[in-house]
Amino acid sequence: MLVEQNVPLQSLNSFGIAARAASLVRVRTEGDVRAVLSDPVLGGQGKFVLGGGSNIILTGDVKQLVLKVETLGRRVLEQTERHTIVEAGAGENWHDFVTWTLDQGLPGLENLALIPGTVGASPVQNIGAYGLELQDRFDSLDAVDLATGELFSLDAAQCGFAYRDSVFKHPPAAATYPGELPRSMGLAGRALILRVRFALPKAWKPVLGYLDLERRMQEEGVNRPSARQIYDWIVSIRRAKLPDPAVIGNAGSFFKNPTVTPEQCQDIIGRDPKVVHYPMADGSIKLAAGWLIDACGWKGKQVGNAAVYDKQALVLINRGGSEHPATGGEVMTLAKAIQTSVYERFGIRLEPEPVVV
Ligand code: EPU
């Protein structure tokens, strides 16, 4: 086990924020985690698990021991009556994994193509796009409990998935740890995900219905697209709308799309008839946060080197590149100003989507 000291994190977070880790260990096997946990010095230190760094905002140097997850491997694990179960190491790149499943002739993840980050981070925020969420294809995962060193597995119910949310984003509910993992138990900072399994449907049906996809189908005169066709469309739609983090630093959507009651929505429609809104199965209404921010005139606005992307107001970007990167403080100042202005105009509190460290 190699412990790296004073490690620059700028290339390890997709926003490109310059910060350092006091110490960092690369986790390539379960044995690496055990070695850290049983080490007399490292074992007792606070730990921060880092995946692809595509959903974090660093507001300063990281004093905890950074565990950079690099567990690799992809395989078809088993066939059940209705699904093919595939497994991938948490350190695998998400998009490469999606591409690999299609290359194996296994459709099901195509709507989630080109989402930045790693396989291990995908259940943490229950990634979703174009009508599909990770939870729709999730089977189970293996993780190490950083407090006890125990290896444990969780199924979908135990992960407590919700919109851009899971048990991994919530702090542990209790100081003591009873061995069993109740669904409601928060696991933030507690679990290091090693590998994830996905259940890909044998009777595959395309997930369509999202406006951008419907538009593509019409434009190209295709009414029964293949999984590969959808994959290609998603890649091209994302490239047109969202900044490539390799070119312009960003952390994807910065805020969650808020939900409101039908009465609140009617009130907003009364004042702003064009507000983009979607009725949800539970009777609530989801509003497009990007539209709300855009309506407040934020596109292209800047605080220091943190800015609002001019093609999608929901995405904050690093306008200073690697030479003069935005600081975490600038990003959070901009985010707070946006929250205030959306609250003042619409009475809605936007909740950040990335994890602020
Ligand atoms: N809109 C505007 N102005 C803007 C941005 C959006 O008017 O500046 C309007 C759009 O015209 C559209 C609506 O708002 O009518 C929704 O926009 P879009 O289709 O781009 O999707 P989104 O709700 O902004 C969500 C996810 C994205 C995901 C897309 C596609 C969240 C927080 N974001 O964005 O996820 O790719 O849908 O499914 O749910 C991410 O999580 O990092 C992410 C990029």
CATH number at residue 302: 3.90.78.10
Cα separation, 122 vs 133, in Å, equals 10
Q: Is residue 223 part of a domain?
A: no
From the list 221, 227, 228, the residue with the least C-alpha distance to 206 is 227
**b (16+ CB within 10 A) / e for 152-170:** bebebebbbbeebbbbbbe
Choosing from 69, 84, 110, the residue where a domain stops is 69
52 class by beta-carbon count within 10 Å (0-12 exposed, 13-18 middle, 19+ buried): buried
Domain shared by 197 and 90, yes or no:
yes
Least confident of 46-55, 165-174, 269-278, 313-322: 165-174
Whether 171 has a pLDDT exceeding 90, the answer reads no
Q: Is residue 212 part of a domain?
A: no
- pLDDT average, residue stretch 46-62: 96
- What is residue 111's predicted lDDT score, i.e. its pLDDT? 98
205 class by beta-carbon count within 10 Å (0-12 exposed, 13-18 middle, 19+ buried): exposed
Q: Is residue 56 part of a domain?
A: yes
Domain shared by 43 and 94, yes or no:
no
- Count of domains forming the chain: 3
Choosing from 44, 69, 94, the residue where a domain stops is 69
pLDDT band at 69 (very low <50, low <70, confident <90, very high): very high
pLDDT band at 209 (very low <50, low <70, confident <90, very high): confident
Query: With a 6 A CB cut-off, is 295 part of the ligand 1 pocket?
Result: no
- Residue 9: CATH number of its domain: 3.30.43.10
Query: With a 6 A CB cut-off, is 253 part of the ligand 1 pocket?
Result: yes
Q: Is residue 148 part of a domain?
A: yes
Query: With a 6 A CB cut-off, is 48 part of the ligand 1 pocket?
Result: no
Q: Is residue 315 part of a domain?
A: yes
Q: What is the pLDDT of residues 250-274, one digit of tens each?
A: 999 999 999 999 999 999 999 999 9
Which atom, in ligand 1's list, is nearest to the CA of 129? 38
Q: Is residue 83 part of a domain?
A: yes
Choosing from 165, 185, 201, the residue where a domain stops is 201
- What is residue 1's predicted lDDT score, i.e. its pLDDT? 83
pLDDT band at 182 (very low <50, low <70, confident <90, very high): low
- What is residue 175's predicted lDDT score, i.e. its pLDDT? 44
Query: With a 6 A CB cut-off, is 130 part of the ligand 1 pocket?
Result: yes
Entry pTM: 0.94
Domain shared by 99 and 176, yes or no:
yes
From the list 213, 214, 244, 246, the residue with the least C-alpha distance to 315 is 244
Distance 43 CA to ligand 1 centre (A): 41
- Are 225 and 231 in contact by the 8 Å Cβ rule? The answer is no
Residue 38 designated active-site? no
Closest CA to ligand 1's atom 13: 288
- Mean pLDDT of all residues belonging to the chain: 94
Residue 27: beta bridge partners? 69
Q: Is residue 264 part of a domain?
A: yes
Residue 253 designated active-site? yes
Cα separation, 338 vs 201, in Å, equals 41
- Name the residue range of residue 303's domain: 249-356
From the list 133, 101, 137, 132, the residue with the least C-alpha distance to 228 is 101
The rounded percent of the chain whose pLDDT value lies above 90 is: 93
Domain shared by 51 and 80, yes or no:
no
Q: What is the pLDDT of residues 123-163, one digit of tens each?
A: 999 999 999 999 999 999 999 999 999 999 999 999 999 99
- What is residue 201's predicted lDDT score, i.e. its pLDDT? 98
Residue 239 designated active-site? no
Q: Is residue 238 part of a domain?
A: no
- What is residue 332's predicted lDDT score, i.e. its pLDDT? 98
